[in-house]
């Protein structure tokens, strides 16, 4: 923080930007519980250090062959 204050000439500590929250989201190419979904969950677990929450489709979409409740991603 002291380096940022000198570099950008901030007058108070409250002017220095800081991180509050980092979110990670991932969508799967095929919205079905396949082997790729397990790999995606494992990858996100390694990146974040936490187990991701699987997100599910809210509605059915016939053109994409997605039914309500299918897992479509993780966060």
Residue 35 covered by a domain: yes
Other residues' Cβ atoms within 10 Å of the Cβ of residue 70:
17
Among 41, 13, 16, 10, which residue's Cα sits nearest to residue 28?
41
DSSP one-letter code for 59? S
pLDDT score at 33: 59
Domain of 56, CATH number, reads: 3.30.1440.10
Residue 68 covered by a domain: yes
Residue 14 covered by a domain: no
Residue 16 covered by a domain: no
Q: What is the pTM of this model?
A: 0.60
Q: How many domains is the chain built from?
A: 1
59: containing domain = 21-74
pLDDT score at 10: 92
pLDDT digit string, tens, across residues 2-58? 999 999 999 999 999 998 999 999 887 766 656 667 888 888 999 999 999 988 888
Residue 30 covered by a domain: yes
Q: How far, in whole angstroms, is CA 70 from its chain's centroid?
A: 18
């Amino acid at each position: 923080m002291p380096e940022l204050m000198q570099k950008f000439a901030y007058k108070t500590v409250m002017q220095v930007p800081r991180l509050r929250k980092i979110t990670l989201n991932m969508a799967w190419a095929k919205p079905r519980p396949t082997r790729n979904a397990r790999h995606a969950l494992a990858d996100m677990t390694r990146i974040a250090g936490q187990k991701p929450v699987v997100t599910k489709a809210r509605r059915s979409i016939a053109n994409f062959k997605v039914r309500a409740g299918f897992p479509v991603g993780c966060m």
